[in-house]
Structure 1
Amino acid sequence: MTALSRLFAAYPSIFAAGSLYKNMQVSHSKEIANFHIVGINYKKTDAAIRGLYAINPAQYQQLLEHARTVQLDDLFVLSTCNRTELYGFADSPQDLLDLLSRETHGDRAQLGELAYSKSGEEAIRHLYQVGTGLDSQILGDYEIIGQIRNAAKFAKAQQCLGSFLERLVNSVLQVSKLIKTETGLSKGTVSVAFATVRMLERHCPDIRHKKIVLLGVGKIGRNTCKNMIEYLGVKEVTLINRTLQVAADFAGQHGLRYAPYENMVSEMQAADVVLVASNAPEPTVLASHFHQSSPKLIIDLSIPFNVESAVGDLEHVTLVNVDELSKVQDETLQNRLGEVPKALAIIDEHMAEFLYWYKMRKHAVVLKAVKDKLQEIHTREIQQQKNGSGYKVEDMEEVSSRIIQKMINLMAGKVRKETDKSDLYIAMINDIFETGVKQD
């Protein structure tokens, strides 16, 4: 750290006079030590519990609106099938936990027991590792970065994403792209969608001849369907979506069949395999739908679960959820483990750059305050000279001398007032202005 940095960061009060002190004050809540992440993920909770704390768009909107009322206005929520995390500035991680529990269906006490929190640089590193797939349930899962981008974009649209978080998210996006192109961490095909393909291969060797229903044609549903077509060669897939046109458009692109949402039960009963990726707030696929149906495999890709747990109790139905899918191993996964050190090195490099930007930004605030103070003194002295009788251009020399003397008096006064720090102040001033004076 330079002498200038030490002076302004450790003892900003050396220039604390009038408007300078006011301008130099920075919101304490935006100090890096007050940047936190709180959340739950697959490491400590199963999919059923995670579903209780999942945040849908309506809840996200409400959370941000309430956050502003309690002076929390720089944060975003990441809610996926594997985690729900809240990133932002607050006096304490507990403030963020309170926000999370307020908008979700889970118990506050349970959340306190299950949740983790990280602060400062540890929280920053966590976001880098999440965004690059290092913290994913399936190592190297690249879909997470799009979810982070969308979560931050939503918060920004609600004016709840400050310059720190926006810069951090952009850095994470950049690092994720670098790791994808410069390492093998995301090479091969390993994702929840592909794990579904592996599961279907194991349970249904003759999958090409099975009738499949896909309920929900969102991103996960589309990716899963594309993987089934590409890797399994399936053709008998019926798409069902609440918005019929979405299903119709996707079906038209891939030569598939679609049906209206009102026909969901009859279509599922006639199917051999049902994939559920509907992301409804509560189960829409019920045990009563299958009491008289033929045997079938049902895979629930949704968080919270969209398939009633009682479906799994039916003897003729096999029910699989996202946690079970994550256990599907592939040789690609082992290859990715060898790429982790390379990914961590890239994160270290870019995190250091981000932290340097953060520190320089803090210095820039102080330096601007100093500049403003000098400008204030300069303007006042010029105005006083103009107000006097007989103002002349040659009087500028006298004005300049007074400005210099006022700055010397300002610093000298602070040195005299805080005698216990006077030696440090003088040493730093000497260093800053490079006077060449040798001090004993």
Structure 2
Amino acid sequence: MFAAYASIFAAGSLYTNMQVSHSKEIANFHIVGINYKKTDAAIRGLYAINPAQYQQLLEHARTVQLDDLFVLSTCNRTEIYGFAASPGQFIDLLCSQTNGDRDQLLEMAYTKSGEEAIKHLYQVGTGLDSQILGDYEIIGQIKNAAKFAKNEKALGSFLERLVNSVLQVSKLIKTETGLSAGTVSVAFATVRMLERMVPDIRDKKIVLLGVGKIGRNTTKNMIDYLGVKEVTLINRTLLVAEEFASQHGLKYAPYENMLPVIHDADVILVASNAPHPTLLAEHLQNTTPKLVIDLSIPFNVDPAVAELEHISLVNVDELSKVQDETLQNRLSEVPKAIAIIGEHMEEFLYWYKMRKHAVVLKAVKEKLHEIHMREIQQQKNGAAYNLEDIEQVSGRIIQKMINLMAGKVRKETDKSDLYISMINDIFETGVNQE
């Protein structure tokens, strides 16, 4: 399998071919990525992209003439979408900014091109490809990833239009189907696991290390569903912990005082979202038994913690296995979601074809106008006539011819590429249809 992937990707290595040449033809639109289906959280963490790395990746992409792409990096996946001569160029691009090994990525990565790549983005954006079916948070992550690329001038018109279509489809599926109905998320799965593993959770002392979005959502769920009150918040920026604690009647402590607080805890939730482990095995030596739940990607709990006999360690991969009856209900909504995706993907592909044809039709109009003006010029020294009237009439004739050709192309969609190619050749417009 490795050899097969290697042969596909090798042709596109950025390091062996620095001058990248590719057209914006749909066949050159690719997605390369890894996700939860084939890799565990530890491996995904090696290829995760934080904002600083994202900016550096886009800057590096420009140096190798890759200028129309965006990167989606979440706890469950890292994917690059964009135009390139070969998917292998994205492999090298990703490895240039992460700690992951290129050979390992070649073996684990999946790649899709053309319409399959477009369909994949629709499925990801609507939660059909999520670890938790119908996960609605992913669409916000796609929106932010594309916005970041656009601000860095790395998002072309094709990708921007595609992302906007995916956003629209996601909203339709959210409102017209039950694919995202019910409460299922990492935060909620944490609550269900606590409910199962710690029956008397209300009486336990809980510490949340990292008061970001996931940490806040998990804490709110624990309060709402489990009725917990003994929660202490710890965050590197103390003000963040203080504000959230005051809103919900919780305790907070400075990051510098972490050790005595976690020693006294029964349950520790780690959502610090740091590039390196925050909670180490040495922090938990000679303490009372504890349940530690790592909600971060990459892992923020040192793997050595799992070797401590008095500590039970759970990570996001294990949390995602927590099934809920909600997921079964969502499965019945999948066909409706697929139908909506199919309809809007067809509209997007039609836009793409018409956009490509419009360039040729514009060039044909200019060519006809050139012929028209040349004929007018040749007649200026001939018999007397009203030049303005002739110019208006001939201009209308040119536009009617263009409208006639455009109408035929729109009507005969199966033959539209052939027609537009013939028109392009006949008038020798010089337009490259790729």
Q: Same fold (TM over 0.5)?
A: yes
**Which stretch shows the higher mean deviation, 264-273 or 161-170?**
264-273
1:393 paired to 2:386: yes
Q: Indicate the SS of the match to 1:30.
A: coil
- Offset of residue 292 of structure 1: 2.1
Compute the RMSD of aligned alpha carbons: 2.6
1:116 paired to 2:106: no
Partner of 2:83: 89
Cα distance change of structure 1 residues 392 and 77 upon mapping to structure 2, 3 Å threshold: same
Query: TM-score under structure 2 normalisation?
Result: 0.83
Give the AA of the match of 2:299. F
Query: TM-score under structure 1 normalisation?
Result: 0.82
CA contact (8 A) 2:22 2:84 kept: no
State the number of aligned residues. 384
Cα distance change of structure 1 residues 390 and 294 upon mapping to structure 2, 3 Å threshold: same
Partner of 2:143: 149
Identity, in percent, stands at: 80
Cα distance change of structure 1 residues 377 and 324 upon mapping to structure 2, 3 Å threshold: same
Partner of 1:4: none
- Offset of residue 104 of structure 1: 1.0
| Equivalent residues in 2 for 1:251-270, closer than 5 Å | 251-270=245-264
Give the AA of the match of 1:217. V
Q: Indicate the SS of the match to 1:348.
A: helix
Give the AA of the match of 2:81. Y
1:107 paired to 2:101: yes
* Equivalent in 71, 74, 81 of residue 68 of structure 2: 74
Partner of 1:135: 129
In the alignment, the residues of structure 1 paired with residue 365 and residue 337 of structure 2 have an alpha-carbon distance, to the nearest angstrom, of 42
1:334 paired to 2:316: no
Q: Deviations over 1:101-150 (max 9, x none)?
A: 11110110000000000000000111111111111111111111111111
Q: Indicate the SS of the match to 1:145.
A: helix
CA contact (8 A) 1:377 1:403 kept: no
Partner of 1:360: 354
Q: Deviations over 1:332-358 (max 9, x none)?
A: 111111111111111111111111111
In the alignment, the residues of structure 2 paired with residue 139 and residue 399 of structure 1 have an alpha-carbon distance, to the nearest angstrom, of 61
Partner of 2:307: 313
In the alignment, the residues of structure 2 paired with residue 235 and residue 379 of structure 1 have an alpha-carbon distance, to the nearest angstrom, of 82
- Offset of residue 41 of structure 1: 0.5
Cα distance change of structure 1 residues 270 and 401 upon mapping to structure 2, 3 Å threshold: closer
CA contact (8 A) 2:22 2:83 kept: no
CA contact (8 A) 1:215 1:277 kept: yes
- Offset of residue 265 of structure 1: 2.3
* Equivalent in 322, 325, 330 of residue 319 of structure 2: 325
* Equivalent in 39, 46, 64 of residue 40 of structure 2: 46
* Equivalent in 185, 202, 210 of residue 216 of structure 1: 210
Partner of 1:59: 53
**Which stretch shows the higher mean deviation, 76-85 or 244-253?**
244-253
1:181 paired to 2:175: yes
- Offset of residue 211 of structure 1: 1.2
Give the AA of the match of 1:343. A
In the alignment, the residues of structure 1 paired with residue 231 and residue 26 of structure 2 have an alpha-carbon distance, to the nearest angstrom, of 50
In the alignment, the residues of structure 2 paired with residue 395 and residue 188 of structure 1 have an alpha-carbon distance, to the nearest angstrom, of 69
Higher relative contact order (CA 8 A, sep 6+): 1
CA contact (8 A) 1:50 1:304 kept: yes
* Structure number with larger C-alpha Rg: 1
| Equivalent residues in 2 for 1:188-199, closer than 5 Å | 188-199=182-193
* Equivalent in 166, 169, 179 of residue 163 of structure 2: 169
CA contact (8 A) 2:189 2:320 kept: yes
Partner of 1:250: 244
In the alignment, the residues of structure 1 paired with residue 194 and residue 373 of structure 2 have an alpha-carbon distance, to the nearest angstrom, of 77
- Offset of residue 216 of structure 1: 1.4
Q: Which runs of 5 or more residues in structure 2 are unaligned?
A: 1-20, 402-417, 427-434
CA contact (8 A) 1:381 1:399 kept: no
Q: Which runs of 5 or more residues in structure 1 are unaligned?
A: 1-26, 409-423, 433-440
- Offset of residue 403 of structure 1: 12
CA contact (8 A) 1:241 1:260 kept: yes
